[in-house]
Amino acid sequence: MRVKNRLSVLVLLMCCALFACQCSQLETASTRERILFNEDWKFYKYESVEQADSLIYDIRPAIGEVMDNKDADSRPTAPVQMETKQIVLKPWVLPTANKFIKDDANKHRRPHGNPGSDFAFVQADFDDSSWERVDLPQDWAIKGPFQVGWNSEVGGGMGRLPCNGVAWYRKKFLVPQSDHGKSIFLDIDGAMSYAMVWLNGSLIGGWPYGYNSWRLDLSDYLRFGEENQLAIRVDNPNHSARWYSGGGIYRNVWLTKTNKIHVGQWGTYITTSQVSEEKANVHVEVTIDNDLLENVSVACVTEIYPVDCNKQEVVPIGLLLQKVKIKGKQSATIKESVIIDHPQLWNPLPKGEAHLYQAITTVMQNGKILDVYETNFGIRKIEFDADTGVLINGEYIKLKGVNQHHDLGALGAAFNSRAAERQLEILRDMGCNAIRMAHNPPAPELLDLADRMGFVVIDEIFDSWEKKKTPHDFHLIFPEWSEPDARSFIRRDRNHPSVIIWSFGNEVGEQYDGKKGAKVGKRLYDILKEEDPSRPTITAMNFAKPYMELPAVADFIGLNYQGEGIRQDTFFNGVDRIRTKPQYDAFHQEFPNKVIISTETASAFSSRGVYLFPVTSKTSSYVRNGIGGDTNRQQVSSYELYAVDFGSSADKVFKSLETHPFVAGEFVWTGFDYLGEPTPYYLSRSCYSGIIDLAGFKKDRYYLYQAHWRDNYPMVHILPHWDWPDRVGKITPVHVFTSGDEVELFFNDKSLGKKKKKKYEYRLRWDNIIYEPGEIKAVAYKNGKVWAEERMKTTGEAAQLMAEVDRKVIKADGKDLAFISVKVCDKNDLLKVNALHRISFSMEGPGEIVATDNGDPTDMESFASTSRKAFSGRCLVVVKGIKGQEGTMVVKAESDGLKPARIIVRTEK
Ligand code: GAL
């Protein structure tokens, strides 16, 4: 059925009303149930990998003497070939991938036998009472302890936390007799990593890659009307990533119950075309699985509504109906289109009117509703132009993006929606409108947030292909899993309006491999295109040049650091590393029809509140001891001029983007500090590249981006702080960031004159100020009018703690979080940036302290500690309520000799 115009919509709505009447007479009793399966697991982790059982997925090459303090742009190397006669469980796990393997000849058959069935942990009668009771999502490593030193087992690269190791999760659950005859699935949004699942003693499958979501059909192994025993083995290798992976089942787990005839896993695919404010074509594909042996005939109707309306009271604005025959144990896909008049468009930030629709798909047979499946989607018109970049709904948007790893700082890898939302809010206020999911698919809920808040997303799947960056990374499973991982990645995420580009690789070793490497890329490219022809693809390249083979493969050119040039300073003369002249023009010339995006820029470093002298007179510099860096303290200066050897300061990137307006925009490495990869100080726990620190506190750089990205938002920001008792009489440069165009600086009420931003200048510098205590005041102007004002004063003695909370009321669901920022202040409420006081946190009422942090990359105190030293005057404490308990939590922060602070947070059902 097709709706052609407004009139036919009306006709259809009448039909729809009719249909609704029929529906009300239909039997609707038991359709789909999606049950959150997170609570009440038993957990056991072996003390060491050596002690673990031998139920391994596959053997792995020895690590050898590898150090994980290699620079990120070290050349990836060839895999090590391994063979074994040992029994490995891979053959029993591989069939889980079959739905995501196109060619029948490549699908896997389950071998005979049932490995592990005699192992104690998979038995129902095994006594797990001494195991830890946990709720998911869980990151087993985040509480530490941190492993310090050069020779720790888990090094700086993976965040010095015990994320490696082998562990088991067990759960008993009852499936009622009434569910007999249904299909019952276990849906795991992410388990880190090499998960293998036994149900009632049988190994039923698993999924090695920790970042993908996956499903197991439990139906044939369940005991209906009885208790069932689930046992999941997770085995996360050391040296499997260049960053902190987290460990364990760190995303949501669901039990999904459907009729035997049901919409398949991620079984809808919704695209739009010919989108305008007047109308839009919506194309809906629905794949229905028939898990019965016999052939069936069903009807399928999809209704479309605005996402948040009350569906009982509103008539659908689009409706599609089709009949289909499905053979036994097969699937069938139906395709339909509908025209929606005057659609509410999905508009990204800064507009952020990100309207969403919901498609409700109903599968019926002989007057019975068998399944109801909901899909959120958005209607937007995206155009890409190699000369101008990205247009959404006809409006040009420069990509002002950041890269984000998946960890949530002190909360680790365990996904928490509120923690992710807070990150996005802070980024949005900075003027950021785009996220690159570096370098792997995120939790599905993060894309829901991006959809609702209006961020655009580059969704990315791999950091390595066949070649390896670390000894145990994805390359080990690339041959068998690259296809299923790539297909399942797209199928899960392809209805999100926020996702505008698929990325299938980051700085892969195949860049160096000419035709051979390009062939590997082309195979992945074709898979992506088969799964979603509606979106362009990209790979992020830090080495490949325009004349090489890999750049020709993807639709777009993704450049990491190459636009600004890599290691161009004469300091790097003679160094045997990537050295590259600025590449935007060369790529644009070679590929005049390909959009260019700077998938990674900057990788600039800083430690919040730390300022080191002297300050470079350049606009961008590498970091060394005494040049922006302090090897003893392991901190980098917040003058925000220093970057990784192959990177550039924000200022330098801004200029290179402005002088190459065809570049669609940038993704800064990174929005937030993340755990692991602590270049340039390997002994630290977390990185220095965030615009915002690990605790969520803004570094000075935040204001540099805000000034440039939100030029209509009145702001001015001064650095450094003005508490330098040991710098009296010494040169102490003052830098000012503003969205205005001119600044007058006052030092102890004396004007130091006005400075105007010149073309391609993004900060105003007073580099010769001789420090003395007092006050620095900056008055910013825009077009000759006062625009914003800020003062920085010398503070008095530390006298008090002050606290503020991001939200005063949170949900009493045991998941929602309140983020309380505590600062050390003098009696006039001025922040003491030099303060390092130890602060203790306590709480009364129906809640608990989840974690504390201070954003210091060198702090090795467990995130679970309720006491922490302030770093640059600040600390963070994260609290949550108790499920089902409404009330008032009182959180107290205390420190010797200081007036304490108290914050009240209410929890509501
Ligand atoms: C890039 C890499 C990122 C990160 C960054 C650190 O080369 O793609 O994953 O390692 O360097 O500077």
Q: Identify the pLDDT of residue 68.
A: 83
The Cα–Cα gap between 763 and 771 comes to 20
Atom number of ligand 1 nearest to Cα 507: 8
673 within ligand 1 shell (Cβ under 6 A): no
Q: How far is the CA of 649 from the centre of ligand 1 (A)?
A: 15
The Cα–Cα gap between 521 and 761 comes to 39
> In which band, very low, low, confident or very high, does the pLDDT at 2 lie, cut at 50, 70 and 90?
very low
Which class in CATH covers the domain with range 718-793?
mainly beta
Beta-sheet pairing, 357-365 with 296-306: antiparallel
Atom number of ligand 1 nearest to Cα 438: 9
Q: How far is the CA of 467 from the centre of ligand 1 (A)?
A: 16
Question: Does residue 310 carry a pLDDT above 60?
Answer: yes
The per-residue DSSP string of 786-805 comes to: EEEEEEEE---S--EEEEEE
Question: Does residue 19 carry a pLDDT above 60?
Answer: no
Question: Does residue 511 carry a pLDDT above 60?
Answer: yes
CA dihedral of residues 821, 827, 828, 829 (deg, nearest 10): 0
For 388, phi and psi rounded to 5 degrees?
-120, -15
507 within ligand 1 shell (Cβ under 6 A): yes
DSSP 34: E
Mutate to test the pocket of ligand 1, among 561, 598, 600 (most ligand atoms within 8 A of CB): 600
Neighbours of 480 (CB within 10 A): 18
Q: Identify the pLDDT of residue 785.
A: 98
User: Residue ranges of the domains in the chain?
Assistant: 3-30+260-377, 34-60+85-258, 395-603+643-675+684-698, 718-793, 800-908
669 within ligand 1 shell (Cβ under 6 A): yes
CATH number given to 800-908: 2.60.40.10
Longest alpha-carbon distance in the chain: 89
473 within ligand 1 shell (Cβ under 6 A): no
Using the structure block, give the residue that is written with the tokens 């407004």: 6
73 within ligand 1 shell (Cβ under 6 A): yes
Q: Identify the pLDDT of residue 3.
A: 38
Percent helix / strand / coil, the chain, rounded to 5: 15, 35, 45
Atom number of ligand 1 nearest to Cα 687: 6
Task: Tell me whether domains 718-793 and 800-908 share a fold.
Answer: yes
399 Cβ contact partners less than 8 Å away, ≥ 6 residues apart: 389, 390, 433, 434, 456, 597, 664, 665, 666, 667
| Smallest CA separation from ligand 1 atom 10, residue | 72
The residues annotated with a catalytic role in the active site are 507, 600
Question: Does residue 591 carry a pLDDT above 70?
Answer: yes
Q: How far is the CA of 242 from the centre of ligand 1 (A)?
A: 9
> In which band, very low, low, confident or very high, does the pLDDT at 27 lie, cut at 50, 70 and 90?
low
Q: How far is the CA of 73 from the centre of ligand 1 (A)?
A: 7
Q: How far is the CA of 72 from the centre of ligand 1 (A)?
A: 5
Question: Does residue 11 carry a pLDDT above 50?
Answer: no
What pLDDT, in 10s, does the model give residues 383-423?
999 999 999 999 999 999 999 999 999 999 999 999 999 99
List the structure tokens of 199.
Answer: 């149900």
Cis amide bond preceding 614, omega within 30: yes
User: What value does the mean pLDDT take over residues 94-103?
Assistant: 98
664 Cβ contact partners less than 8 Å away, ≥ 6 residues apart: 384, 389, 390, 398, 399, 595, 596, 597
> In which band, very low, low, confident or very high, does the pLDDT at 313 lie, cut at 50, 70 and 90?
confident
The per-residue DSSP string of 497-528 comes to: TTEEEEEEEES-GGGGSHHHHHHHHHHHHHHH
Which class in CATH covers the domain with range 34-60+85-258?
mainly beta
What pLDDT, in 10s, does the model give residues 598-647?
999 999 999 999 999 999 999 999 999 999 999 999 999 999 999 999 99
859 within ligand 1 shell (Cβ under 6 A): no
What pLDDT, in 10s, does the model give residues 681-706?
999 999 999 999 999 999 999 999 99
Q: Identify the pLDDT of residue 423.
A: 98
- The mean pLDDT of the chain is 95
Task: Identify the CATH homologous superfamily for domain 3-30+260-377.
Answer: Immunoglobulins (2.60.40.10)
Task: Identify the CATH homologous superfamily for domain 395-603+643-675+684-698.
Answer: Glycosidases (3.20.20.80)
User: In terms of pTM, does the model score above 0.75?
Assistant: yes
Q: Which of 62-71, 115-124, 359-368 has the lowest mean pLDDT?
A: 62-71
What pLDDT, in 10s, does the model give residues 789-835?
999 999 999 999 999 999 999 999 999 999 999 999 999 999 999 99
The Cα–Cα gap between 868 and 534 comes to 49
